[in-house]
Structure 1
């Protein structure tokens, strides 16, 4: 018997065999039973689903519900993605304390020009306000305030129906909580992203504050015209009394301001304010708060505001300056101080004149050009101090600051950055001959305005006439100057050239995203007005980088200096060779003398600059500068609709000329880099004002030069010393 046979006949082998057979049988039976149970469960599920089966019109409803649910989930996830950045502002337990700054602003002459924020001592608790005032606000602004969860879906649907019937925006759907979320955390930009953030933050506020607290914060922070923020400040301004003491008629007039504070401000348009107050009184009746008999006296005896003239408040500037103070506070540069006085670089007279001029220009030429909005920034190129900032046509209608927050294509006004980058390669000068002819990068082939080409022209001529193809060819040539072996096709060279152009823009102070697109050299990437003015300051000051700013000095409530821009920030640094900047100034001066910006010329003042017009005439710019000021102005429409063939050399250059002629009067003129000093000062231009624009602002005061101020200071010191010697010496004989 073999070993294998003996193994098979052993007890151990037989037991192992039986064990394996039992295991196999167990798995087989288990798999079979599992399959039977699965089939039974599936059959039960089918039977259950058959009972839920619908057909005909019911099935259509079910399908619509299911698809709608899927779409709603996807939209919700996308909305949450956009809303996430907004919640960063609510991080930490002191999210509201960060907003509790009380700031008084002074202009460059030391005059109080406005306030922002709120002092707790100035806040009147809603328990101390008349009940009919609170009822008037609720009845007019958010009738379901105490019922909804932060978003009034019923109100939104009703507003959509009203707007659809009127074929326009007649009624808003934002709740008071949403408006508070916008005031505290967001800007006034009109975008879908902002509305999504606003909705989520409204829900967040409802979860962290009571309805009373939300209403209190809203009434303390809302803009109410006349440069006032908060219902207590408005009551003091319009009626000379605390909000605790306002009558029913006065309360109705205050509640009517929320919709359009400039339009219904009683010191501006009393008939409109009284008509709006009557609407509020009727709302009180409709909402069931009062009866017709209770409002009868208020209707027959409307409120009369205290006598005030047409006051001007530089609200665009103050909003931006307030955000700057917030940033300084968040960075810890102001210590724990919450009550502050800020001396700004604001030139109040120039600000008012610029605001009035832009309003007049839009009123006169806006319908013809089909343009409704404008923004402008004027700054000192040597320091970056912003003298004037206009953010739109009417602050009361829309507080969105188009000078700082709107992103618009600069068009050809971006080309000087391209030309400077070309000069920096060392291969170009203003006299260098370049080719103006069709050019393509891949399947993208830009063309000049009017589809005309000039052939071989000097570089200065190409910029003077704003030739698109030359700017694109320069971007390719810049890339070729930084060529990489094995990567020398047109596409790669243009890409490297655009990277160098973006690098130049960053050195000049443009921090907004500049996507690397083939059309970047002709100004197709979005920028904002204030950064463009800062970039052009680099040309005006000989190649130094500056940062646009409003705050010059900041003092705490005890009068101690806690921040000085000159002391606490590094001086402007040289970022470009001055010779290259002088070449750019020479070329850009020619744009004004013989090119597209001739309407911007100033008598007896050397200026340089560049116009900009985007594809489809949606945006029109003029960026100009002298040795004293940089001024950037933009015209366009909020809804991105095209203008009627408006170019940067038309209305923008014309308006820039009027405003900058005023800015330069009576001051010591500084030369542009590389140019001799101007021979004479500028005379005051005629100040035109329409009948409904009010009186013109006072004549722009003359400013002493640094040298003149030093001389006068020396004379004052000498006189003081002489007087002291006389007092200390022997009595006269």
Structure 2
């Protein structure tokens, strides 16, 4: 893949070879070679009169958001949206480029025979193409007309295209075109884009030191970028300045002065594409799910309609940027999907795509207590009810076929309620003892099966620790699993591409939602998860960011912080942590919740909703959470839970039972009592 880049302006001029031109090229090569000197002359004539590949405007592949906003466009040469004429490019940049790339550019004819011969010897010694020896004209031909394959056939075609270019165009035109399409790193193609990226200025305003640094980048943009390694960038700048001295463009004193000139690298860079992590996912999906080849993407004339909501994407990026501490290496990921369809509406894979394109929204990490949403869904399906109670205290569980294995469970900070908890309170407090007890009671294999049904595809093992989220899953998987609860029990398949406009292209159909749990269980879990955002819940600290009711679950491990939750219209999962698995500080372990809440506050405004109604067949009962029994008028703390008829508690709270009133005596009893007293 060459690039995906922002395209807020006009379409790019893309060169495309005419159909059937390959046979003409074969004829132009082999027939003249077979006829000696006369044939070589004939070949030059043919190259002069054969047309260059079509230079008409071709629509590139466009990538659009759900509402039609252009996110990016894909071409083999990048966008040509910032072309500058040669007259505007500083002479120092032109000289530096010639000195380091092709000193004899204005003297040779397309091919540097000496460099080519040297490269051929090196390649023969290695048994493959490892060195190019290409002139600027050859590099331009490769960028305009060919792939980046390192093969002998491609090098031969590159040389012939270079010869044809010089027979059709002037040296100045070729140099100018080269400077406007060559890749300078971090998604910047052409000198103008590179100048803005690295120095936040127009190419006209570059000084000698900046020109030398820029000219050294095409050799290895990822190695010599001043954004990633200023030491290597300065080393490369020194090489360029030395080459300029050798070529006669500078004196030694001028080169030394330029090397000592301070370089002020831009500190803020506009992303080369909108929603770059999402765009990369969409392109990859287009290639895999729609059988679109990379070559087809390069050829253009495709329009990829994605599922992205630009407003929600902006809110997601803002939530991450305003929450993560500046100057830290800590990373975050956020993914939001429509629970009814699986459409990905927003996705952030890290804090900066340019410095780290690794997509953490797709990366498995330990989910911690967010896995309990899946665990308790399995429990409700296997006979548990909200009234089930488990003692919250330091517990060592004995398990295994022979009851010869032990597993000691600790709550966060070794703080325990030291009393029985109902399912609602255990979920709100994120009690680990309750979770492991539940896991072993229903059987870990049933929890694994439930996770599979809800959309978790990562490896899971039926161990006691499964309940505590020790097996890594990705944020996208977790959002998919919680979507099953948000939509009433259907599993959806997440996707980023809605359709692709392409002549003759068969569009893939997205899988239909599949019911995997009952609507009653989905509603019970949703109702229980709202307690996480209420007083005494682990998510209560961020409830002020929200404007209405929501369901959610927090999760924390030594190295990962999570929050996942939903409204009827959207599910969002957030992860925070270090790529190196460095342990989180106490403050860092609480960063996922505000990111989630800031984003979901915008969601509630942008996508208003009516909260869920109880599923048919469920009835509410008021319980005393201390006993798990039906509350009485004397119970000071109560909770309302929903039950399938026949599973609800039937006895009242024994701790707060009202005193029995004295029974009044009947007249007959009073008379009998009077008679008994006197006689």
TM-score range relative to shorter protein = 0.5 to 0.7
Alpha-carbon separation, structure 1, partners of 2:522 and 2:240: 65
**8 Å contact 1:612–1:647 — kept in the other structure?**
no
**8 Å contact 1:628–1:670 — kept in the other structure?**
no
Gap runs ≥5 in structure 1:
1-100, 139-144, 151-174, 178-201, 266-271, 480-496, 677-733
Q: Label 1:538 to 1:328 Cα distance change in 2 as closer, same or farther (>3 A).
A: same
Q: RMSD of aligned C-alpha atoms? A: 5.0
> Structure 1 length as normaliser, TM-score?
0.54
SS state of the match for residue 498, structure 2?
Answer: strand
Q: 1:408 aligns with which of 352, 356, 365?
A: 365
- Pair 1:318-2:279 in alignment: yes
Alpha-carbon separation, structure 2, partners of 1:526 and 1:149: 47
Counterpart position of 2:499: 553
SS state of the match for residue 571, structure 1?
Answer: coil
- Pair 1:224-2:180 in alignment: no
**8 Å contact 1:328–1:334 — kept in the other structure?**
no
Counterpart position of 2:315: 353
Alpha-carbon separation, structure 2, partners of 1:211 and 1:570: 47
1:514-564 deviation digits (Å, cap 9, x = unpaired):
2444321100001111111111111111111111111112112xxx58466
Alpha-carbon separation, structure 2, partners of 1:148 and 1:458: 78
Counterpart position of 2:447: 501
Counterparts in 2 of 1:161-310, with a 5 A limit? 224-225=185-186, 228=187, 230=189, 234=193, 252-253=213-214, 255-256=216-217, 258-259=221-222, 264=227, 280-286=236-242, 292-293=250-251, 296=254, 299=258, 310=270
Counterpart position of 2:415: 452
**8 Å contact 1:149–1:206 — kept in the other structure?**
no
Counterpart position of 1:112: 70
* CA deviation after TM superposition for structure 1 residue 673, in Å: 5.9
Counterparts in 2 of 1:363-374, with a 5 A limit? 363=325, 372-374=330-332
Alpha-carbon separation, structure 2, partners of 1:571 and 1:313: 29
Q: Label 1:344 to 1:147 Cα distance change in 2 as closer, same or farther (>3 A).
A: same
**8 Å contact 1:344–1:550 — kept in the other structure?**
yes
Q: Label 1:525 to 1:103 Cα distance change in 2 as closer, same or farther (>3 A).
A: farther
**8 Å contact 2:184–2:217 — kept in the other structure?**
no
Counterpart position of 2:555: 612
Gap runs ≥5 in structure 2:
1-58, 87-92, 103-117, 124-129, 133-147, 163-179, 400-404, 617-679
**8 Å contact 1:262–1:397 — kept in the other structure?**
no
Counterpart position of 1:59: none
* CA deviation after TM superposition for structure 1 residue 591, in Å: 1.1
Counterpart position of 1:658: 598
* CA deviation after TM superposition for structure 1 residue 603, in Å: 4.0
Counterpart position of 1:394: 352
Q: Label 1:603 to 1:236 Cα distance change in 2 as closer, same or farther (>3 A).
A: closer
Q: 1:474 aligns with which of 418, 422, 438?
A: 438
1:381-421 deviation digits (Å, cap 9, x = unpaired):
111111111111111211111111x2210101111111111
Counterpart position of 2:388: 432
Q: Label 1:393 to 1:304 Cα distance change in 2 as closer, same or farther (>3 A).
A: closer
Alpha-carbon separation, structure 2, partners of 1:432 and 1:137: 75
Which has a greater percent of helix?
Answer: 1
Q: Label 1:302 to 1:384 Cα distance change in 2 as closer, same or farther (>3 A).
A: same
Q: Label 1:627 to 1:325 Cα distance change in 2 as closer, same or farther (>3 A).
A: same
SS state of the match for residue 519, structure 1?
Answer: helix
* CA deviation after TM superposition for structure 1 residue 618, in Å: 0.8
**8 Å contact 1:350–1:663 — kept in the other structure?**
yes
Q: Label 1:461 to 1:211 Cα distance change in 2 as closer, same or farther (>3 A).
A: farther
Alpha-carbon separation, structure 1, partners of 2:185 and 2:252: 26
- Pair 1:599-2:541 in alignment: yes
Counterparts in 2 of 1:65-84, with a 5 A limit? none
Alpha-carbon separation, structure 2, partners of 1:336 and 1:277: 33
* CA deviation after TM superposition for structure 1 residue 328, in Å: 2.0
* CA deviation after TM superposition for structure 1 residue 349, in Å: 2.9
**8 Å contact 2:532–2:539 — kept in the other structure?**
yes
Counterpart position of 1:524: 470
Counterpart position of 2:489: 543
Alpha-carbon separation, structure 2, partners of 1:450 and 1:299: 58
**8 Å contact 2:80–2:181 — kept in the other structure?**
no
Counterpart position of 2:28: none
> Structure 2 length as normaliser, TM-score?
0.58
Q: 2:609 aligns with which of 669, 672, 697?
A: 669
Counterpart position of 1:418: 375
Q: Label 1:280 to 1:119 Cα distance change in 2 as closer, same or farther (>3 A).
A: closer
Alpha-carbon separation, structure 2, partners of 1:209 and 1:673: 65
Higher mean Cα deviation, 108-117 or 522-531? 108-117
Q: Label 1:517 to 1:262 Cα distance change in 2 as closer, same or farther (>3 A).
A: farther
Alpha-carbon separation, structure 2, partners of 1:432 and 1:383: 34
* CA deviation after TM superposition for structure 1 residue 229, in Å: 5.9
Alpha-carbon separation, structure 1, partners of 2:234 and 2:298: 43
**8 Å contact 2:520–2:615 — kept in the other structure?**
no
Task: Give the number of aligned pairs.
Answer: 471
* CA deviation after TM superposition for structure 1 residue 511, in Å: 1.1
Counterpart position of 1:385: 343
* CA deviation after TM superposition for structure 1 residue 626, in Å: 0.8
Alpha-carbon separation, structure 1, partners of 2:476 and 2:323: 21
**8 Å contact 2:304–2:501 — kept in the other structure?**
yes
Alpha-carbon separation, structure 1, partners of 2:489 and 2:287: 30
Counterparts in 2 of 1:115-126, with a 5 A limit? 115-116=73-74, 118=76
Q: Label 1:502 to 1:450 Cα distance change in 2 as closer, same or farther (>3 A).
A: same
Alpha-carbon separation, structure 1, partners of 2:317 and 2:183: 23
SS state of the match for residue 409, structure 2?
Answer: coil
Counterpart position of 1:711: none
